[in-house]
Amino acid sequence: MTTDAKAKAGLEDVVAASSAICYLDGDRGILAYHGHDIHDLVRAASFEDVCYLLWHGRLPNRGELGDLQSQLAAARPLGEPILRLMKQLPASDGMDTLRTLTSALGHYDPDASDNSPQANDRKAVRLTAQLASLVATYGRLQAGGGPIQPDPALGHAANFLYMLTGNRPDALSTRAFDVALVLHADHELNASTFAARVAAATLTDMHSAIVAAIGTLKGPLHGGANADVMRLLIEIGEDSTPDRIDDAIRARLAKKIKIPGFGHRVYRTEDPRATHLRRMSKELGERVGNTRWYAMSQRIETLVKGEKKLNANVDFYSASTYYTLGIPIDLFTPIFAVSRIAGWTAHCLEQYSNNRLIRPRTDYIGPPYPQMVLPVEQR
């Protein structure tokens, strides 16, 4: 492979679209949605606020926020055909189930055959509401419980935790999960968002574009790192001494085994999302009287940063945050989709609004042209 070809591998730093949705500055650790810094949004906005911002380019006023909350509440219940299909599917990975059920949602959507801007706005709301219900209900069934109907009096984050556990979450749990949703809602042209935009650019329906995104997120090089982080913490052991933690991490580093949750394709400084999840992990641990997962994570972060000069990314502290909330590890990647659906649909809407088919070219590195086609007897 030529030096030029290596530089283009993975489209690194290649600008593939113009977008007003998400601004990233990897050198300064900046993430912003429509110009609003992620730190300000975490402090002053809910996930519903962020959904409206991503879809409409501005934060909602009180009346607009109330309307969106009502629309999400109305769309949240799952129809009986979807619940029946969920129960009939063979045991599989949560992302497989989510992909199949999201495709099935398209069959029952009242705007399925309408690709107008108004219909797509409605589909964005429904998909955001319904993906959360799908993942919560799937988790509920996997734990041996029965489906729980959403409570229209609860917000998006609280409803998810309620539908998953059957218990109404306290204020700190709701806040922690809402923050996680805000932080994961969009991240420019990551692999799954790019897949959604490529699909949308063909003018396929929004459900098909979102299925493409879910299939892409399923890949271990995109989603799943937070689940790997939690599995690593459990493998090392909750009661491990500091020396044992250090030995376990150094042994992996010596074998050149990647420590999940560190480094990022874009950020050269701390991932700004990790800043908030680190704090949420600590606060939740203190609330339940178990800060061991947070303490282990902090020690691993210090060691990896010191020896490998790698910063924690969004996945590292989301692992202990979700686990302390009582969320099963198998749901960690599907929950990524519960949040990122806001960004996926926003990018679809933007692509539809000023569309041109996305059709890049390759840098051909095969045999020189022309090659002679020999008769089969001479090959």
Taken in order 338, 144, 105, 190, the sign of the CA dihedral is: positive
> What's the confidence (pLDDT) of residue 98?
97
Structure-block tokens of residue 52: 């409206």
Task: List helix spans (H) across the chain.
Answer: 3-8, 38-44, 47-56, 62-75, 80-88, 94-108, 117-142, 156-165, 171-184, 191-200, 206-218, 225-236, 242-254, 272-288, 292-308, 314-324, 332-353
> What's the confidence (pLDDT) of residue 265?
83
Q: Where in the chain is the domain with CATH 1.10.230.10?
A: 225-324
Asked about 315 being catalytic, the answer comes back as yes
Residue of 228, 276, 315, 347 marked active site = 315
* Alpha carbon 229 to chain centroid, angstroms: 15
> What's the confidence (pLDDT) of residue 362?
86
> What's the confidence (pLDDT) of residue 7?
47
CATH architecture of the domain with range 225-324 = Orthogonal Bundle (1.10)
Structure-block tokens of residue 310: 């790698």
Q: Which residue, among 379, 344, 22, has the nearest Cα to 214 in the 3D structure?
A: 344
Q: Where in the chain is the domain with CATH 1.10.580.10?
A: 18-219+331-353
CB within 8 Å of 210: residues ≥ 6 apart: 102, 127, 196, 341, 344, 345, 348
Residue of 34, 36, 264, 276 marked active site = 264
CA distance 372 to 356: 37
CA distance 345 to 357: 17
Start-to-end C-alpha separation, the chain: 27
Would you write out the chain's pLDDT as a tens digit for each of its 379 residues? 454 555 466 676 677 788 999 999 999 999 999 999 999 999 999 999 999 999 999 999 999 999 999 999 999 999 999 999 999 999 888 999 999 999 999 999 999 989 999 999 999 999 999 999 999 999 999 999 999 999 999 999 999 999 999 999 999 999 999 999 999 999 999 999 999 999 999 999 999 999 999 999 999 888 889 999 999 999 999 888 999 999 999 999 999 999 999 988 888 889 999 999 999 999 999 999 999 999 999 999 999 999 999 999 999 999 999 999 999 999 999 999 999 999 999 999 999 999 999 999 888 999 999 999 999 999 9
> What's the confidence (pLDDT) of residue 10?
67
SS3 per-residue string spanning 126-159: HHHHHHHHHHHHHHHHHCCCCCCCCCCCCCHHHH
Domain 18-219+331-353 coded CATH 3.40.190.10: no
Structure-block tokens of residue 325: 């909330």
364 neighbors 176 (Cβ within 8 angstroms):
no
340 neighbors 184 (Cβ within 8 angstroms):
yes
CB within 8 Å of 89: residues ≥ 6 apart: 97, 100, 101
Rg (CA), the chain: 22
191 neighbors 216 (Cβ within 8 angstroms):
yes
